Every structure is written in structure tokens, then in C-alpha cells.
A = this chain, B = another copy of it.
């Protein structure tokens, strides 16, 4: 008999992950959703093998459960259902903050293994209508195990991550995850939003190039989810915003002083750092 991966919540990420996991080893994919329309869409479009609106009944069948919702949604689900997971099963999540989620996962009985996950993929759209089974190709999957997490469960998550197309799986502590993500993800969203706050935004149409489109792309975000994500990571995020303000200010000073030599030195320094880290733009990730 097949084993079961239950995915709780079939939005952009949960739906994409469900579609990407179809055919993984000897697992069937079971969606657990709240709305009948989502259930029908997911089945009709082949994102899942089965779907249920009954969370308790779904969890009772799951060898692996993936919680895919906003951070607050995930924590509320853990609160409500912590005793509904199968003994011996693995529970993971896919949200962008980890300290708070792993703290809440302490509610789970000892027989249930919890490993946080953060597949670093997404688009600026939401909902299963925008889900893409190839969303994870070439992206990074961050895994945040607990000290007591079983090695076979860590290995299972690695196989799942590679199966959906991730190029790299890293293990990290929740605190370190949240500090790094403040910089690599949340700050990019604050930048996109802040650029869109400029008074000239609506004058720029027809005068924008690819850099403007790329920097502002993620600004069309879901305010509810990002209020959660950012509030739960406020100390780390405020610190990286402060550092960015400083770095911008240093450029402004060089320009204000008409200090061409200093400006050139700064441009050479920063562009060289970019060349050294050598990350391709998202349009240039080679697909497997």
C-alpha cells in the first residue's frame, strides 16, 4: 500500500509542491484544504491524488505532513491539531520564518518528528490558480531540524527537495535561518515596497527598464502573510534595513560631494563583490 504525503493548504506554494511531488517514490499526495472550490480545482488540474476537507481524517492517514500556510496559519493549525498527527510521522512546513514555528512545534507529542522547511521559491502571485509544479527548479531548500530529528526524516526531506527540482539543500538553526532570511528575502521585499512608495512611481511607465521591473517585482505581495513574516522576524529585519540605509547613504554622500574618485572606488568595490558571489538573475537559472 502506498504511503501518504498530506499537504495542508493548497495555495501558491502548497499547490506547486503538491504538483511537483506527484510520483515521488511510493507516496500518494493528499491535499487538506478548507474550501470546496480549492479541493475541486486541485483534483481537476491533477495537483493531488486525493483531497479532503476533513483535516483530522487526513492527518490520520499521513506519513508525512507539509503545513503550507501563512506563519500564523501554521501556528494556529499546530495549536488545534497537535494531537491529530500519526505517531512516528514526519511534519514539516514551508513558511519563511522558523524560530516561532519551531517554538510552536514543541506542542507536538514526542512521537511526532518536526523538521522546519523553507523552499526558497515563489512568485508575486497567490493561490492554486497560479501554482507551478516547476516553481522549485534551481532553487534552494533550507531545512531546520530539531536536535532530536531522525536522520531518516532528514534524508527523506532531502529526497523530496531534490525530486521537486531544488539545486541545494542546507541545514541550519532556526535563529540563523531567520537572521539570513531577513537579509536575502525580507529586505528584498522591503526594498521593492519602498521603491514603489516613491512619489514618481506612476510617472515612470514607459521609462522603466529591466532593472526596475526586477527590483519591484515582489512588491505585489500579500499584506496579511508578510505582516506575519516580518513581525515574527522584526529584530533581524530592522537591523538589515538599518545597514542598507547606511550603505545607500554612503553612496549619496559620495554623489553629494561630487567626489568622483570616491564614487568610482565604491562602484569598483561593490560591483566586484557582486562578481565574486556570482549569483545569476532568476531568468538565468539553468533548468535541469
Contact = CB atoms under 8 A, between A and B. Distances in A.
What's the number of copies of this chain in the assembled complex?
Answer: 2
Interface in A200-223: 200-223
Interface string A248-282: 11111001101010011011111101111101111
A180 B200 contact: yes
B244 A248 contact: yes
Given A180-B207, A208-B120, A215 B213 contact: no
A244 B197 CA distance: 8
B168 A206 contact: yes
Nearest to A211: B188
Contacts of A198: 183, 240, 243-244, 247
Interface residues on A, range: 35 or more
Contact of A280 (B192, B213, B218, B270): B213
Given A238-B255, A255-B234, A211 B217 contact: yes
Contacts of A192: 211, 215, 274
Contacts of A279: 205, 208, 212-213, 216
Nearest to A280: B213
Contacts of A274: 192-193, 196, 216, 219-220
Given A196-B270, A227-B264, A213 B245 contact: no
Contact of A122 (B190, B200, B209): B209
A112 B260 CA distance: 33
Nearest to A208: B184
A226 interface: yes
Contact of A275 (B120, B220, B258): B220
B231 A207 contact: no
Contacts of A168: 206
A224 interface: yes
B207 A188 contact: no
Interface string A221-242: 1111011001100100110111
11 contacts: A122-B210, A142-B206, A172-B207, A184-B209, A196-B270, A196-B273, A201-B273, A204-B277, A214-B218, A217-B281, A226-B267
